[in-house]
Structure 1
Amino acid sequence: FYYQPRQGGTRTTASTFDMDWNVYFNPAVSLQEARFNGKTLEDWQKGGKDLHSRWVDPLFINPAQRDFRLRPDSPALELGFRPLEPDRAGPREWTANAH
């Protein structure tokens, strides 16, 4: 995540899942230093993973204040990310016909 330079989702079962259309970024790590299951992003993509993903600043509104909403010019929006609606998040009453 944003403040965890050594953390990522590609450490363990890298050969058994598909990932794509992601924005990766860490303000303390350059693209050349970043590793995806031990590989550079370019080599990771050559293996068929994250073909459309990018290493780019997601342009959060104010990450220092933990405001991770996206600015209107965020590259995440270009990749198809739709901002979450906080008012719709959280526990819900269970219904048998929920999808």
Structure 2
Amino acid sequence: MDAYTGARWSELISQRPGLYDRAARRFPIRRPIREAGGQIEEALRPKSKAGRRWIELPFFLAVLYEVLVDSCRYRRVFTGARGAVLRRREPGWPLI
């Protein structure tokens, strides 16, 4: 998703299933996730006015994203195995 949409990590992991517009194959960027002091929180708004936008998906990616949305059991589309917010890899952690 990141490579094809240009969306930031924080914008992608904040996506909620109910916000996806199937007819237009797009999702809004409204409240990105941020990590401060080890705590995960939703920002009140993107960093700039330009950050508040819609991300349109190419057809092949929309099909895959809709499968994720339809099978989503949690508040967000992209989560860990038990519904937790995804985090970036910490510096020094081994790649597995």
**TM-score of the two chains, using structure 2 as the length reference:** 0.25
Which is strand-richer, 1 or 2? Answer: 2
**Larger relative contact order, structure 1 or 2 (CA cutoff 8 Å, min sep 6):** 2
Larger of the two Rg values belongs to structure: 1
